[in-house]
Amino acid sequence: MEFMLSTIIPSIIQWLTDFSGVLFATIKDVLPIVVILFGFQFFILRKPIPNLRKVIIGFAYVLIGLTLFLQGLEQALFPLGRLMAEQLTHPDFIYAGVEHIAGTIHWFDYFWVYIFAIAIGFSTTIAEPSLIAVAIKANQVSGGSIGVWGLRLAVAVGVAVGIGLGTYRIVTGYPLHWFIITGYVVVVIQTFFAPRLIVPLAYDSGGVTTSTVTVPLVAALGLGLAETVPGRNPLMDGFGLIAFASLFPIMSVMAYAQISEYINRRTKK
């Protein structure tokens, strides 16, 4: 019994210190937002906030929720994900069992990296809290015609394709701006054919995807890849995955709307 207590209590104390550390960091991030909101509410609008008690409790839930979320990710998934990104991009793994001619690379040697990039892009986007928030709002505003899951899956597919293509770019070393500019052209063309109601939401879904869950894992993957692929410079080639992850969901959300509109029209006929 004594042995149990002597091992459990320090680990509980350690956990509580970690928790309060993350909590203070989260409060520090939220403080400017709270100051701006309440400052304008009291000094400019000069009106009491409706349901003030409920709003404050809601903020407390958001703070505690975000803290637990970040601490859990830091404890469980991030270390493993980062380690995995390092191991998958390591030459020992890529060339295991294959005779490797120094100085030459073939883009296909990295196929596990692409699969990992696609899988991690999809799965982290499904768990992204800010995307859940936007999907809930879009569902309310559209009166239910835009499904929460439909939007989230469309965005996740876009991020998966974007990050997969982004890792391919790092391996091959093509300039980033070719891809981005081509992407822009596709987005502009799609804008003129997509249903009018979806366009602003599609543009927004590019920005919301890259947040708490996706950025740390994807950044580790990009930098790890740029460090280990011969001829790549991590400083020049390691960036760009986030940009891909914010561009491709715009296309996939518009495509999702176009496809569902097409199916609706056909079933009506």
Residues 82-141 that bind other proteins (CB under 8 A): 84, 87-88, 93, 112, 116, 119-120, 122-124, 126-127, 129-130, 132-134, 136-138, 141
Q: Does 150 bind other proteins (CB under 8 A)?
A: no
* # residues near other proteins by CB under 8 A: 102
Positive/negative CA dihedral, 264, 189, 239, 66: negative
Scan residues 27-56 and list those touching other proteins (CB under 8 A).
28-33, 35-37, 40-41, 44-45, 47, 49-51, 54-56
Cα torsion at 69, 71, 72, 76 (round to 10°)? 140
Q: Determine which residue in the list 60, 95, 106, 259 makes contact with other proteins, applying CB under 8 A.
A: 60
CA 139 to chain centre: 20
Mapping DSSP onto H, E and C, the string for 152-169 reads HHHHHHHHHHHHHHHHHH
Site stretch for other proteins (CB under 8 A), options 2-10, 98-106, 206-214, 256-264: 206-214
User: Quick check: 163 binds other proteins (CB under 8 A)?
Assistant: no
The residues, any chain, with a CB within 8 Å of residue 159's CB and separated by 6 or more, are: 121, 122, 124, 125, 209, 214, 245, 248, 249
Contact call for residues 255 and 186 (beta carbons, < 8 A): no
The residue whose two tokens read 């906030």 is 49
Region near other proteins per CB under 8 A, out of 2-10, 65-73, 101-109, 259-267: 65-73
Q: How far is the CB of 262 from other proteins (least distance, A)?
A: 20
Judged by beta carbon, residue 105 or residue 202, the one nearer other proteins is: 202
23 contributes a contact to other proteins by CB under 8 A: no
Which one of the spans 1-9, 100-108, 182-190, 261-269 is the region binding other proteins (CB under 8 A)? 182-190
Q: What is the DSSP letter of 95?
A: T
Write down the number of H helices and E strands in the chain: 12, 0
Cβ contacts of 90 within 8 Å, gap of 6 or more: 228
Shortest Å distance, C-beta 25 to other proteins = 7
Q: Residue length, the chain?
A: 269
Complex with other proteins: residue 56 or 263, whichever CB lies closer: 56
C-alpha count within 13 angstroms, C-beta hemisphere, residue 19: 10
Residue 248 contacts other proteins per CB under 8 A: no
In whole angstroms, what is the distance from residue 125 CA to residue 65 CA? 18
Residue 9 as a binder of other proteins (CB under 8 A): the answer is no
Residue 13 makes contact with other proteins by CB under 8 A: no
CB of 205 to other proteins, least distance (A): 8
Does residue 258 belong to the site contacting other proteins (CB under 8 A)? no
The answer to whether residues 130 and 106 touch, using CB atoms and an 8 Å cutoff, is no
CB 231 within 8 A of CB 173: yes
Q: Which is nearer to other proteins, 28 or 266 (CB)?
A: 28
To the nearest whole angstrom, how small is the minimum distance from the Cβ of residue 178 to other proteins?
10
Least separation in angstroms between residue 155's CB and other proteins is 12
Residue with tokens 């982290």: 124
